């Protein structure tokens, strides 16, 4: 691994990770110093919000190769060369020597023009004309507050059934106010960015969750599916009942408590988190994934996430050139509360993990929460 200053990480012949202060006078020069070294075909930027994301794109684009695809989004936190970071810009450069990419904007999420999305995705795949000797995968960056990730991943799975897709929902710190996405030199809202990527590097997907189900089950007796909101659990106001089950005072509930005591939905023989983002003024619970009346949920208990992560990264067949990471903000909050964010950052730095903290993750045709979803880029088995 080579370093270009303390804020740049690059695996041999692999992607480069660059970090800079958000909004600083040296932000763009710092990012370009690392990105230019690999002559990127694709650059992903994570962190900036709104006008800051647009301004960053305007300054970066003229200095990148003409055919370089530039995309990104706002985040709930960043993962840079040293692990977890805050109020930073993290840029990932994918060298043209090993990568080729195209992007499409799936807009008007609130209107759900699914047929239009699927036609555009199939046309994109046809025009992409992938090399059968190389691997193809998809990346999805979605508006984390539009509430349509479940429909998005279903549409992608139907339109591109043989393309593995992973992704993350854009964030807004812990404000949950607005999220922004970047593609084609423009900033988008109420939209998703889908990238089709081809590479000659070996790929290895990593998916981890750090919770176990308890014996406590609850029934969603009233909900607002269109708002991803639980109104009642067990025929009681949802926040009050959740507080009773967890032993936490209702007026003291916060994101770290939700991270430590997730609500789980059993699907396909596995438990998946239906993460809580906040309590509501009417005593409900606002969720980060789909919910329906009648669902039976299990109260979960968070466990130490560092052990499973270390085992998964150490089990890679070869050291990764980089691991692109979509890591739920609730995992990070749980780590910070337990004082384990430092060890996790060290683990991420050692294994070249980079990306951002999300409002939700996508993989295997599902939208999930409180999960780490990563894609490791490895040297080919026959590489020297």
Distance between CA atoms of residues 161 and 136, nearest Å = 12
Torsion angles phi and psi, residue 318, rounded to 5 = -145, 155
The average pLDDT across 109-124 equals 96
Closest CA to 60 of 19, 29, 17: 29
Percent of the chain with pLDDT over 90: 79
**pLDDT exceeds 80 at position 293:** yes
In the structure, what pLDDT confidence band is assigned to residue 304 with cuts at 50, 70 and 90?
confident
- The alpha-carbon radius of gyration of the chain (Å, integer) is 20
Q: Per mean pLDDT, which of 100-109, 205-214, 336-345 is the most reliable?
A: 100-109
Which pLDDT band holds residue 120 (cuts at 50, 70, 90)?
Answer: very high
Question: Within 129-183, where are the H helices?
Answer: 149-159
User: What gap in Å lies between CA 347 and CA 327, rounded to an integer?
Assistant: 14
pLDDT of residue 337: 85
Is the pTM for the entire model greater than 0.85?
yes
Backbone CA torsion sign across 343, 346, 347, 348: positive
d(CA 273, CA 5): 39
Tens-digit pLDDT profile for residues 203-262: 999 998 878 899 999 999 999 999 999 999 999 999 999 999 999 999 999 988 898 899
pLDDT (0 to 100) of residue 1: 30
The pLDDT assigned to 275 comes to 87
Say if residue 165's pLDDT is above 70: yes
pLDDT value at residue 168:
97
CB atoms within 10 A of CB 127: 9
When pLDDT is cut at 50, 70 and 90, the band that residue 6 belongs to is very low
- Predicted local confidence at residue 383, as pLDDT: 60
Structural element, H or E, at residue 121: helix 114-128
Give the helix ranges, DSSP H, for 190-339: 238-246, 255-260, 305-314, 329-337
Average pLDDT for 310-317: 94
* CA–CA gap between residue 275 and residue 341 (Å, rounded): 20
Quick check: 287 pLDDT over 70? Answer: yes
- pLDDT tops 80 at residue 351: yes
pLDDT surpasses 90 at 353: yes
Give the percent of the chain with pLDDT over 70: 96
The model's pLDDT over 51-102, given as tens digits with 9 standing for 90+, comes to: 999 999 999 999 999 999 999 999 999 999 999 999 999 999 999 999 999 9
Q: What is the pLDDT of residue 5?
A: 37
**Average pLDDT, stretch 12-20?**
87
In the prediction, which pLDDT does 279 show?
95
């Amino acid at each position: 691994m080579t370093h270009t200053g303390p804020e740049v990480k690059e695996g041999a012949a692999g992607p480069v990770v660059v970090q800079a202060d958000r909004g600083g006078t040296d932000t763009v020069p710092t990012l370009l110093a690392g990105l230019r070294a690999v002559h990127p075909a694709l650059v992903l930027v994570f962190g900036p919000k709104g006008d800051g994301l647009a301004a960053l794109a305007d300054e970066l684009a003229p200095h990148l190769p003409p055919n370089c695809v530039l995309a990104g989004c706002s985040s709930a936190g960043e993962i840079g060369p040293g692990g977890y970071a805050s109020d930073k810009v993290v840029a990932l450069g994918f060298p043209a020597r090993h990568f080729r990419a195209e992007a499409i904007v799936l807009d008007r999420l609130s209107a759900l023009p699914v047929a239009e999305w699927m036609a555009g995705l199939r046309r994109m795949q046809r025009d992409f004309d992938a090399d059968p000797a190389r691997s193809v995968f998809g990346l999805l960056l979605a508006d984390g507050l539009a509430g349509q990730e479940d429909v998005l991943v279903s549409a992608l799975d139907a339109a591109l059934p043989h393309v593995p897709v992973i992704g993350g929902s854009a964030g807004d710190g812990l404000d949950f106010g607005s999220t922004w996405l970047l593609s084609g030199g423009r900033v988008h809202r109420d939209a998703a960015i889908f990238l089709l990527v081809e590479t000659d590097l070996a790929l290895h997907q990593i998916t981890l969750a750090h919770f176990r189900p308890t014996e406590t089950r609850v029934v969603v007796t009233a909900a607002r599916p269109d708002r991803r909101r639980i109104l009642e659990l067990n025929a009681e106001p949802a926040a009050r009942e959740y507080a009773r089950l967890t032993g936490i005072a209702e007026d003291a509930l916060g994101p770290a408590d939700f991270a430590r005591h997730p609500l789980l939905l059993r699907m396909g023989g596995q438990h998946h988190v239906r993460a809580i983002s906040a309590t509501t003024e009417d005593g409900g619970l606002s969720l980060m994934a789909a919910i329906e009346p009648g669902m039976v949920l299990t109260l979960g208990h968070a466990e130490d996430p560092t052990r499973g992560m270390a085992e998964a990264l150490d089990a890679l067949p070869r050291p990764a050139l980089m691991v692109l990471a979509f890591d739920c903000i609730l995992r990070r909050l749980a780590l910070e509360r337990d004082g384990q964010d430092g060890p996790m950052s060290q683990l991420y730095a050692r294994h070249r993990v980079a990306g951002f903290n999300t409002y939700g993750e996508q993989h295997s045709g599902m939208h999930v929460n409180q999960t780490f979803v990563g894609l490791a880029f490895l040297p080919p088995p026959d590489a020297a």
